[in-house]
Amino acid sequence: MQNKEKLLQTLKRIDGRGYKAYTDIEGIYDFKKFKLYIDHVQRDPFASPSLVRVEVPAKDAAFPSELFGNFQRKIALEDYISRAFHSTINHYSGGKSGSGHSGVIKIDSGNQEVLERSCVNINSSKLEVRFSMGLPARGRRVLGKAASKMFAHILPKIVNDSCFYSNLNSQKVEEHVKTVEDAGFIRDKLDEMGLVTFVADGSILPRESGVSDKPLKHAVEFRSPESLTVTIETPNHGPITGMGIPKGVTLIIGGGYHGKSTLLHAVERGVYNHLPQDGREFVVTCSSAVKIRAEDGRRVEKVDISSFIHNPPASLNTREFSTENASGSTSQASNIIEAVEMGSKLLLFDEDTSATNFMIRDERMQRLVAKEKEPITPFIDRVRELYEKHGTSTVIVMGGSGDYFEVADNIIMMDSYRPYNVTGKAREVARDLPVNRIREVGCDFSFSHRSPQPESIKPFKGRKLKLDCRGLSTVLVGRENVDISQVEQIVHPSQTRAIAYAIYHASRKHMDGKTSLLDVLKAVKHDIEEGGLDVLALKGRKKPNNLAKPRIFEIAAAVNRLRTLKMKMVEVQKKDQI
């Protein structure tokens, strides 16, 4: 390890030389208050920025141990530190100044959700923060003086203001940690309370705009109908009252623009914890909830959709259904089976993104088109069986079909963004206007587990291992660009990138051609829980600074959309759910 002055001397020596001369500064430097690790230097000002990290002894950072005394608190504190680091970057750094990424300092802090990330790690011995720096250049020449300013003046100020507890607002730190802990506590209580979702009174569900996930100013606050009101005693905020959606089948109805989809969107994002003041910090959903939609054109590989699609005219084998170009109904059926296969206990639907012929076949259509001519068993005829025999609940936004009144346990009507329990009124309507449609089910609901074949995962592009993402919606695995734009519960590109790494990790460590996809991804999940996101790091590569933990449902969604994927059907014993 060298001292800070050695780094500055090196920068002075290479000033004006070709950009590759920056590789001379790779190493470890003592800045007295922290250690600086320059792990990887970019070879060109237009290449990905250099990877850097700082390490502060825990006794100097002086964060109280109770702030990271359990897993929820640790993730919350790391999240707060990453956001503080990001904020101070904006305060002290002038941003881009020169060629390519010159002068740009970035840390992988999040949006409104609090996720486990690789950029900050704290324990009883040290605080480590990982970030990137665009080393300054003019053209492709080293700007040594500008780099010296970044390292000697700007970076120490950033570290000082974000990595030492005494320099942070202790009340905000504690509220951040306590809010995340209480949200996790509520999620853990849902199952024993017979609930799938909790929406606290006072929540702000509408978002600022289609491109901003921040709360809408002056929005209507959420208020639970009395009949669905529950109170949960939390460790830090005491009793929190709100609407509990029970297990079973729940409809969300109402007129257009009254908040149906807004409520569902908050519920689907409730699988994650949120920032204080987000408006949804106590909108909490069971961790296995999966949003289901039609997805025309997606690839499907050996999915047993026979419970929904059977004896189609083309004589396709729907017990091992494969296609390169799924229709709306077959893609939605596949998405359901894949979610249930992975252990989901809550399916979320919005009629706006569903295939109409998959969701409902009404009485008039049943009379005109004989059942033997219709290969689709509509979801309305399976939804109760899914809950009663398989324990999988459903929440559906439905504005166009009252036939679902017959199968729902609870019906919530949104009126000007306020929820009302209209289950009783809906029952009266169903009695006054009876539906004589026939339940079209020829067999019990079932599905098969599948085992991914490791040789079908092709992570190399030529001889180069290629794992990355393109924004939020594309996973890059070798030559494959996997479109996950319709997988709606991914909230940050760093999750997308982590999915690429997780697929490769799974193919190397846990896929043997016999183990089910569920067990493979449960093993990946266990690896991450035991070793953190660093277990996904590639052999011989530096520790990743830009990964965020995805759920196994989103990893599975990407695996299932790989165009090279091959599966085999397997027998598995019933095991504990995720």
pLDDT tens-digit readout, 516-566 = 999 999 999 999 999 999 999 887 677 889 999 999 999 999 999 999 999
Which pLDDT score, from 0 to 100, does residue 132 have? 96
Q: pLDDT digits over 7-55, tens only?
A: 999 999 999 999 999 999 999 999 999 999 999 999 999 999 999 999 9
Q: Return the pLDDT at 577.
A: 45
Give mean pLDDT, residues 137-163: 95
Q: What is the DSSP string of 16-64?
A: TSBGGGGGGG-EEEE-SSSEEEEEE--SSTTSSPEEEEEEEEHHHH---
Task: Decide: 128 and 36 in contact? Cβ < 8 Å.
Answer: no
**What is the rounded distance in angstroms from the CA atom of residue 40 to the CA atom of residue 542?**
8
pLDDT, tens digit, for every residue of 291-343? 999 999 999 999 999 999 998 887 678 999 999 999 999 999 999 999 999 99
Higher pLDDT, 460 or 578: 460
Is-contact 326 385, C-beta < 8 A? no
Torsion sign across C-alpha atoms 21, 24, 27, 31 = negative
Give DSSP secondary structure letters for 510-531: T--SSS-HHHHHHHHHHHHHHH
The answer to which of 168-172, 209-213, 466-470 has the lowest mean pLDDT is 209-213
